[in-house]
Amino acid sequence: MSDLIDRTRAWIAGDPDPATRSELAGLVQTRDREELADRMNGTLAFGTAGIRGVVEAGSNRMNLATVIRTTAGLAEHLQRTTEPHDRLVVIGRDARPSSDSFMDDTIAVLAAAGFTVRFFAAPTPTPLVAYAGLSLGACASIVITASHNPPRDNGYKVYAANGAQIVSPADTEIAACIAEVGAATDVPRAPNAFETSSVEAIDDEMFEQYLRDVATVLPGVAGDRGISIVYTPMHGVGGRFVTDALRRFGFHKVNPVARQFAPDGTFPTVDFPNPEEPGALDLAHELAQAIDADIVFANDPDTDRLAVSVPDPGGVWRPLTGNQIGCLLAEFLLDHHEGPGVVVNSVVSSPLLSRIADRHAVTYDRTLTGFKWIWNAALDLAGTGAGELVLGYEEALGYSVGTTVRDKDGISAALAFGVLAAEAAADEESVLDRLGTLFERYGVWASAQVSVRVDTPDGSERIARMMDALRSDPPTSLQDLDVSGMTDYAVGADERPRYLGATNLIELDLGDAGRVLARPSGTEPKLKIYVDLTAPYPRSGDWMGAEADLTRRAEAIGEDLRSWLTDAGG
């Protein structure tokens, strides 16, 4: 206990924020060993997604001291790897309560370290910050955001000079620099950073430029698109940006969900501000039902993801899956594309994209999970002469339309899907009609996800045992389908591109019927199972019935493997 108390007192002495100093001192006074040990258990690990955690006092939490030390380490890394004339950093933030102060001190540290800083004064979509960094030639871009995490969290996301998220070894190099930083109180901060010539706000022209660039990759011409859209930014920062963009691209019937429109980092109307979560779209669906809308769009709080719902023939609002949105976008964009091009998705996303690429004679590849890999694949493939990215996507509602932003972008995705829906309406078709046509061309596809959650002290060991058992002696069948092969992505990385390197992922081959993948979650004590199945288009033409049957079968296979893994984990 004495060592823990000593480390805590040392952190308190180096914390410049009186609020978190007092908070941590209170825990020392009450001798709350369990809470102190959790808060002082090392520091938040800096990885390719930056850092993210609960906003509280302590070295293992998001707070002013953590942000200052992280920025100082990043600044040191950039000073070691860039020339002085290239040291421009772009910064933006979301609308969480702590994001404003975290951004201010990030700017103060960078200004004191001799960097030029361009920043967004108001809460801004993450993809717009990434776009600005690439557009302005920044050596790095920083976004203070926890995306769709719960309200208590915040984060610090970093983009490289190429406009994409950082990848190894940059993350480990930055982490090493952060580890060398002493107390946060010893890190120089420019006292009047915002009054210096090296710190300047980014004006609205950046968004105008972004929209002009997006327009170059969208099919069709401007004009009244006609369709009625319900839109929710889920209490995030996308509201004014997305509604403005939609209206400028000819969507004049945009109906915001009023209770979720203003930025509010407490997310008062949803349990979790993630459009994938059950119930998150309820208010949007209620409004859509009331006004007889054609489509629902929802962004997550930092506007880098897009959810889409459409009415089924019975008038019930149906969220499309991430795979359905991605494959519909790919088919639509490629129908309007000429010449070489590239489409990419993550290895846990639908194999249907490869069939779409074959039909359109463009290059397809798959990557590890995360848009950092999707965009590094796109850049590598462009370097081989394969052409530029037409679409990159992953099943968790992330899409990159064209080359405007080198990360997932919920604004351009909404515009592209809106144009798709408007084109379908002009042809007297619905979005579901387009999905039916997709299945008629490529077979019916369905996906399912099942999780094996292990909330026990030995959870990580049990998950490791599950993966070991799957590697050494995989099941011979799942439901009534034979397992015809197994791929272990932890081995053979030397024979694959860097964006599909070694990772703790196992794929079970179900032959012509599809495949199943399993991997541990990177953020929670659970193992994720992904099932993708396909079947011929039915002679009856009832693809919705066939899809529903296939979805139930995929879910049953996922549950079958979950039971097998639970038994294997002990």
**How does DSSP classify residue 305?**
B
The separation between CA 556 and the C-alpha centre of its own chain, rounded to angstroms, equals: 27
366 forms bridges with which residues in the sheet? 345
Instruction: Give the DSSP letter string of 307-320.
Output: EEEEE-TTS-EEEP
Distance CA 513, CA 361 (A): 24
The token duo for 291 is: 């006004």
DSSP state letters, 465-512: HHHHHHHHS--SEETTEE--EEEETTS-GGGS-GGG---S-EEEE-GG
Expressed in angstroms, the distance from the first to the final Cα of the chain is: 34
Give the helix/strand (H/E) hosting 144. strand 140-144
Q: Which residue has the tokens 């015809």?
A: 484
Place of tokens 């794929």: 507
Which residues have a Cβ under 8 Å from the Cβ of 155 and sit 6 or more positions away? 49, 50, 51, 52, 53, 62, 144, 145, 146, 147, 149
Q: Identify the sign of the CA torsion 294, 306, 448, 489.
A: positive
What residues have CB less than 8 Å from 103, skipping those under 6 apart? 91, 92, 93, 119, 144
Please work out, in degrees rounded to the nearest 5, the angle formed at the alpha carbon of residue 140 by the alpha carbons of 134 and 144: 105
- Cα gap 515→86, rounded to integer Å: 46
Rounded to 10 degrees, the C-alpha dihedral 504/510/514/519 comes to -20
- 147 tagged catalytic: yes
- Alpha-carbon span 24 to 75, nearest angstrom: 28
405 by DSSP, 3-state: which?
coil
Phi then psi dihedrals of residue 443, to 5 deg: 90, 160
Total Cβ atoms within 10 A of residue 504: 16
Q: What is the CA radius of gyration of the chain?
A: 24
% helix, strand, coil for the chain, step of 5: 45, 20, 35
**Residue 509 and residue 519: Cα distance in Å, rounded?**
15
Q: How far apart are CA 259 and CA 192, in angstroms?
A: 37
Contacts of 286 (CB under 8 A, 6+ apart): none
Q: Which of 147, 349, 430, 447 is catalytic?
A: 147
Residues known to be catalytic: 147
